[in-house]
Amino acid sequence: MRFAGDSGDGMQLAGGRFTDATAVLGNDLATLPDFPAEIRAPAGTIPGVSAFQIHFASRDILTPGDAPNVLVAMNPAALKANLASLPRGATIIVNEDAFTRRNLEKAGYPVSPLEDDSLAEFTVHRVPMTTLTTRASEALEGVGTRDAGRAKNLFALGLLSWLYDRPTEVTERWIEGKFASKPAAKAANLAAFQAGWSFGETTEMLDVQYKILPAVDVDPGTYRQINGTSATALGLLAGSVRARLPLLLASYPITPASELLHELAKHEGLGVRTVQAEDEIAAAGVALGAAFGGHLGITSTSGPGMDLKAETIGLALMLELPMVIVDVQRAGPSTGLPTKTEQSDLLMALYGRHGDAPLPIVAARTPGDCFRSAFEAVQIAIERRTPVILLTDGFLANSSEPWRIPSLEELPEIDPGFAVAPASEEETFLPYARDERGVRPWAPPGTPGLEHRIGGIEKQDGTGNISYDPANHATMTRLRAEKVSKIAADLPALEVDDPDGDADVLVLGWGSTYGSIRAGVRRVRDRGLKVAQAHVRYINPLPANIGEVLRAYPKVLVPEMNTGQLVKVLRAEFLVDCKPYNKITGQPLYAAELEEAIVELIEAPLEVPA
């Protein structure tokens, strides 16, 4: 189902509360907030429409859903903007009061769609939500028309909560807490929510009520609802706690990465420092300075910020210091679509620095998986003394799902392994000596006897002194690359989901397309066709067995929300003729479109090289 309304209508709030109640009920779920880049686009217009979609069921949920079965449209613009995505037969609940001539004009409707037959293939319910909300709080003391007018999203929430039999206590408790210091707003919101619920229960307008039982096919454990931003923050924090290193996050406000700064700024109590830097470059520099000082230095941003941080990331790589760079990808290039999702920074993460500058890249696949991915990014950075890029995206950051809370014993301890002072004065400290993994010592300032200088100029192998020797530069370039490639030996192999082991097509993805691909693959299998699925978490180094996996299938499909970036790498590295499937609309992949693409590839004649 999807809540849609004006940016000022509180649709994200209604969606979020519905999600919480759904999570507590034990349904599996996935959400997709979709809002404009403008804080308040002109009210009532199509650019101002803000929507929140939630997909929930009693079985495991893979995506927020391609097309909603129920649309709540708070005004004509919201109806118009969302109509195209509704399947035939879908239910539409409109706030009838908002279908005024003026609002219809703003949305570009010459005639009200409620009055002609343009909605004939849908089930439309007209509810005067504004009137009913206002009436519900008329008798309440101290509640003005303003409070009442702003609560119509809670009326819609109440109505939908009844329709899907969501528990009311969760939402009521939230209202009590949220408006504890504003009695009038509290009363108005509670009244609106209850009025919405009662409207559903007492009118015969909605003739069905759905009951969706708690999901059963999920692993035992304690769960909570989580979005990718919170999961990333907790994963980074968990890395800090398990490494016993204080965390410093330096960031510059940018959509959609700012939320991570807000989230971590709350946790000073766990040794977290956050610095809102003067720009993206400074944010990277501050994080690197913290790393030099022996702390866990992290910087977070979205695409345009990555452009600016590139030089500092190159320095971190040259200095061989740990640092985590979180890139919450968004649709580019340039400012692009700040609030829309895309996977188009993969090649930049891999190659977007001058010189031969390889570094590890980890990509999260679901909102909850951001926790594990962030933790692993921290682990790799600290243990291997290297900047690591963590790729998430706007969809993962804002979307939420139930998440099994890991017990802390599941998380390995991370040993920073700081260098210790040499035993005798005769021994010289070599800041660029390497162990068998190619890893150099980390010697933060403060330890007597380890005073040393590092810098961006090429270093002599071992001593770290400036060296312009040609052969040494070749050696150092090779050693830096080897250090990163050696990580693959300690990474888990790429797992392939292929029930019978003889699928015709392998679908290989990375990042946030995981749920869509799984759902698409499930649909193909439901049609009796054979398809295998694998999902890459480590973009660099790639899993050691990936070449073998690619060559094991006659056809490989690589779906991405870009113009074909991973597919280029796979073709170049492994000489396998992988087929791209690309979507660049700023929206997540849909299971239905993937199903079609997979089936098409299965049915395509096998290309035999001449």
Partner 1 sequence: MSATLHVNGNGNGHEHRLTKADFQSDQETRWCPGCGDYAILNAVQTLMPDLGVPTEKTVFVTGIGCAGRFAYYMDTYGMHSIHGRAATIATGLATTREDLSIWVVSGDGDALSIGGNHLIHALRRNVPVKILLFNNQIYGLTKGQASPTSERGKITKSTPFGSHDRPFNPIALALGAEATFVARTLDRDRKHMTEVLRQAAEHRGASLVEIYQNCPVFNDGAFFNLTEKDTKVAAQIRLEHGQPISFGPEGHEHGVARAEDGGLEIVPLAGNEQRLLVHDQHREDPSLAFALARLADRPTEPTPIGVFRQVERPIHGAAASENPGRHVGDTAALDHLLHAGDTWTIAGP
Q: How far is the CB of 240 from partner 1 (least distance, A)?
A: 7
The yes or no reply on residue 309 touching partner 1 (CB under 8 A) is no
Taking CB under 8 A as the criterion, which residues in 88-107 touch partner 1?
none
Distances (CA, A) of 430 to 422, 435, 442, 511: 10, 12, 11, 39
Using an 8 Å Cβ cutoff, are 557 and 567 in contact?
no
Residue from the set 271, 304, 336, 462 that interacts with partner 1 by CB under 8 A? 271
Using an 8 Å Cβ cutoff, are 600 and 74 in contact?
no
Q: Six-digit token pair at 345?
A: 């920074």
What angle, 0 to 180 degrees and rounded to 10, lies between the N-to-C axes of helices 168-178 and 183-202?
Answer: 160
The yes or no reply on residue 278 touching partner 1 (CB under 8 A) is yes
Taking CB under 8 A as the criterion, which residues in 9-68 touch partner 1?
20, 23-24, 26
Taking CB under 8 A as the criterion, which residues in 475-494 touch partner 1?
none
Q: How far is the CB of 554 from partner 1 (least distance, A)?
A: 38
Residue number with CB closer to partner 1 (44 or 239): 239
Q: Which stretch binds partner 1 (CB under 8 A): 35-43, 179-187, 418-426, 521-529?
A: 418-426
Task: Give me the residue label for tokens 């926790």.
Answer: 371
Q: Which of 331, 283, 292, 330 is nearest to 310 (CA)?
A: 283
Using an 8 Å Cβ cutoff, are 214 and 58 in contact?
yes
Q: Which stretch binds partner 1 (CB under 8 A): 55-63, 150-158, 448-456, 511-519?
A: 448-456
Residue from the set 290, 346, 382, 539 that interacts with partner 1 by CB under 8 A? 290
3-state secondary structure of 339: coil
Residue number with CB closer to partner 1 (301 or 343): 301
Task: Give me the residue label for tokens 């797992």.
Answer: 495
Residue number with CB closer to partner 1 (267 or 340): 267
Q: Say whether the peptide bond before residue 441 is cis (omega within 30 degrees of 0).
A: no
Q: Which stretch binds partner 1 (CB under 8 A): 113-121, 185-193, 241-249, 599-607?
A: 241-249
Q: Which stretch binds partner 1 (CB under 8 A): 99-107, 253-261, 274-282, 552-560?
A: 274-282
Q: Can you tell me the distance from the alpha carbon of 293 to that of 545, in angstroms, rounded to the nearest whole number?
A: 37
The yes or no reply on residue 435 touching partner 1 (CB under 8 A) is no
Q: Please give the DSSP secondary-structure letter assigned to residue 517.
A: H
The yes or no reply on residue 219 touching partner 1 (CB under 8 A) is yes
Residue number with CB closer to partner 1 (42 or 214): 214
Q: Which stretch binds partner 1 (CB under 8 A): 199-207, 331-339, 420-428, 573-581?
A: 420-428
Using an 8 Å Cβ cutoff, are 540 and 358 in contact?
yes
Q: Please give the DSSP secondary-structure letter assigned to residue 298.
A: E
The yes or no reply on residue 363 touching partner 1 (CB under 8 A) is no
Cα-Cα-Cα-Cα dihedral sign, residues 274, 279, 280, 286: negative
Residue number with CB closer to partner 1 (101 or 468): 468
Q: What end-to-end distance do the CA atoms of the chain give, in Å?
A: 50
Taking CB under 8 A as the criterion, which residues in 173-202 touch partner 1?
none
Cα-Cα-Cα-Cα dihedral sign, residues 257, 258, 263, 268: positive
Binding residues for partner 1, rule CB under 8 A, total: 77
Q: Can you tell me the distance from the alpha carbon of 260 to that of 262, in angstroms, rounded to the nearest whole number?
A: 5
Strand order in the sheet with 70-73: 28-34, 49-57, 2-6, 70-73, 91-95, 123-127
Residue from the set 47, 142, 221, 355 that interacts with partner 1 by CB under 8 A? 221
Beta bridge partners of 442: 418
Residue from the set 284, 306, 378, 476 that interacts with partner 1 by CB under 8 A? 284
Q: Six-digit token pair at 296?
A: 């866990």
Q: How far is the CB of 422 from partner 1 (least distance, A)?
A: 8
Using an 8 Å Cβ cutoff, are 61 and 29 in contact?
yes
Residue number with CB closer to partner 1 (225 or 516): 225
Task: Give me the residue label for tokens 């679901």.
Answer: 366
Residue from the set 90, 238, 378, 506 that interacts with partner 1 by CB under 8 A? 238
The yes or no reply on residue 304 touching partner 1 (CB under 8 A) is no
Helical segments of 164-182, H only: 168-178
Residue number with CB closer to partner 1 (87 or 422): 422
Taking CB under 8 A as the criterion, which residues in 377-406 touch partner 1?
405-406
Residue from the set 425, 436, 500, 526 that interacts with partner 1 by CB under 8 A? 425
The yes or no reply on residue 337 touching partner 1 (CB under 8 A) is no
Residue number with CB closer to partner 1 (86 or 250): 250
Q: How far is the CB of 239 from partner 1 (least distance, A)?
A: 10
Site string (243-262) toward partner 1, x via CB under 8 A = -xxx-x-x------------
The yes or no reply on residue 143 touching partner 1 (CB under 8 A) is no
Phi, psi (degrees; rounded to nearest 5) at 8:
-90, 0
Task: Give me the residue label for tokens 């650019």.
Answer: 47
Residue from the set 424, 435, 468, 500 that interacts with partner 1 by CB under 8 A? 424
Q: How far is the CB of 159 from partner 1 (least distance, A)?
A: 22
The yes or no reply on residue 530 touching partner 1 (CB under 8 A) is no
The yes or no reply on residue 312 touching partner 1 (CB under 8 A) is yes
Using an 8 Å Cβ cutoff, are 563 and 540 in contact?
no
Phi, psi (degrees; rounded to nearest 5) at 70:
-130, 130
Q: How far is the CB of 116 from partner 1 (least distance, A)?
A: 44
Residue from the set 281, 308, 544, 552 that interacts with partner 1 by CB under 8 A? 281
Residue from the set 67, 83, 218, 544 that interacts with partner 1 by CB under 8 A? 218
* Strand duo 70-73 + 505-510: pairing: unpaired
The yes or no reply on residue 567 touching partner 1 (CB under 8 A) is no
Q: Which of 388, 396, 310 is nearest to 353 (CA)?
A: 310
Residue from the set 56, 223, 395, 442 that interacts with partner 1 by CB under 8 A? 223
Q: Which stretch binds partner 1 (CB under 8 A): 179-187, 293-301, 360-368, 520-528?
A: 293-301
Task: Give me the residue label for tokens 């001058």.
Answer: 354
Q: Can you tell me the distance from the alpha carbon of 221 to that of 406, in angstroms, rounded to the nearest whole number?
A: 9
